[in-house]
Amino acid sequence: MAKFLHIADIHLGIRRYRSEDRARDFFYAWRDCIERYALAEQVSFVLIAGDFFDARKVEPQAMNQAMYCLSKLREAKIPVVAIEGNHDCHESESKFSWLRSLSRWGYIKLLEPLQDQNGVRLAPWDDEERTGSFIDIDGVRIFGSIWYGSNITQSLPLLIDQLREHHSPQLFNVMMLHTDVEGQLNRPIPALPVAEINKLRSYVDYLALGHTHKNFEIDGWVYNPGSLEACSVDEYANIRGAYLVEVADGKHTAQLVRDYHQRPVLRLGFDVSGYATPEELHENLFAQLRRETTPHNPDEDGAEAPVIEFTLRGHLGFKSSLLEINRLREEIKSEFNPLLVMMRNQTVPIEYAVAAGLSEHVPRAERERRVIEDLIARDSRFRDQASAMAALVIEAKRLALADEPPSRIVEVIEQRVAETQSSKAASAQ
Ligand SMILES: [Mn+2]
């Protein structure tokens, strides 16, 4: 029986917050997670599925933070098996990287596919050379990969050919992969389709993912723990953690564990709609904030200062240049004493109001039509035809959802545009 810890996206040395305290939170999360779930649980090994460091140029402090736990794990004889992520991968023209050095020095085992004149090759771990693409520990065969980015769909078939050859039917096969997965994110992507992932299923019992900073699991064999801490303001709402996995008789159970040090987050917001001046907005915002929360007092609370995530939403009643976000941030910080204030501005400027004044009871279809029409009407060239064009956009969407071929959709669009133009020409005559 084997037990292992699967983490990803630790991002030691994160610089995005420009706050040393906040950067140290990432160390606390890493240290606490390793102490609780690797050392205390006496796991057979730890998997790091990419982005151990926030940058390939590692700051001295981040290396200290890494070594703090890596040396404890080495003392406890718990191997750390890692792959590169997009943040800490080697430069293509260089043979050197800090992860490779850590691997040479015996603190981690960095698994990488080999690239030679014959293409991609998976080679067993060589403990003398301290390089390789797969390794067996306690009945588990672990495969590593590299960061493929948008080439993932082309690279995966080559990897699958190699997995076919090297997976072990007698062992429990784990593969580490740093990638986004289709359907799990709303940002534009190089995301791997689930259909492609499923091609790994014959050879892989547990796919250990990293990269997407929120937790998800697919069909009881694909696992993404999420980052250990929130790396940006958009990530505070995400669920994240680490997987503690037990393997017995070829079967596994994976438990998402989250009970380790994470900075408390206070998520607050304010709807700016209906305030005609910055002063009025300011007064009402602080009145609401004082009702909802009390200032952090380090002496009394005994708890850590939280990060306040503050979201502004709704339609602004005045020019957006008059909304002083930085001033609001400073005032919230000085009155409520949090560690940091992260401002999210989701307000709609008065000059770009879309579907303004629409009652909330208006059905979804009508709301959608209004949004599209207003967006089109912003461009004076199309203002006269906004309503006809909105109808066409909705028609095109309907066809796409009905899986009509793209050529058919283009045909409909061309036909409709031609009709609009000829009717315009007719009325101009
Ligand atoms: Mn990452």
Question: Could you tell me the pLDDT band of residue 374, with boundaries at 50, 70 and 90?
Answer: confident
Class of domain 2-257: alpha beta
Between these two residues, 359 and 251, which has the higher pLDDT value?
251
pLDDT at residue number 183 = 84
pLDDT at 419: 83
How much distance in Å is there from the Cα of 66 to the middle of ligand 1?
16
User: How many A from CA of 371 to the centre of ligand 1?
Assistant: 34
Label residue 101 exposed, middle or buried (CB < 10 Å: 0-12, 13-18, 19+): middle
Query: 88 CA to middle of ligand 1, Å?
Result: 9
Q: How far is the CA of 216 from the centre of ligand 1 (A)?
A: 15
pLDDT band of 152, cuts 50, 70, 90:
confident
For 190-241, give the DSSP string: -EE-HHHHHTTTTT-SEEEEEESSS-EEETTTEEE---SS--SGGGTTS---
Structure tokens at 134: 């797969």
Distance in angstroms (rounded) separating the CA atoms of residues 50 and 112: 12
* C-alpha of residue 193 to centroid of ligand 1, in Å: 19
- pLDDT band per the 50, 70, 90 thresholds, residue 383: confident
Distance from C-alpha of 273 to C-alpha of 347, rounded to nearest angstrom: 9
Ligand 1 mean position, distance from CA 211 (Å): 5
| Strands (E) located in 249-400 | 251-257, 265-271, 307-315, 340-348
Cα 56 to middle of ligand 1, angstroms: 12
pLDDT digits (tens, 9 = 90+) for 267-300: 999 999 889 899 999 999 999 999 999 999 888 7
pTM: 0.79
Is the pLDDT at 305 greater than 80? The verdict is yes
What's the gap in Å between 302 CA and the centre of ligand 1?
Answer: 32
Asked whether residue 355 carries a pLDDT value surpassing 80, the answer given is no
Give residue 118 CA to ligand 1 midpoint distance, Å: 31
Provide the 10 A C-beta neighbour count for residue 414: 10
Q: How far is it, in rounded angstroms, from Cα 341 to Cα 365?
A: 37
- Domain residue ranges of the chain, discontinuous segments joined by +: 2-257, 265-351, 364-428
CA of 133 to the centre of ligand 1 (A): 21
Span 42-57, pLDDT tens digits: 999 999 999 999 999 9
Angstrom distance (rounded) from CA 353 to CA 40: 55
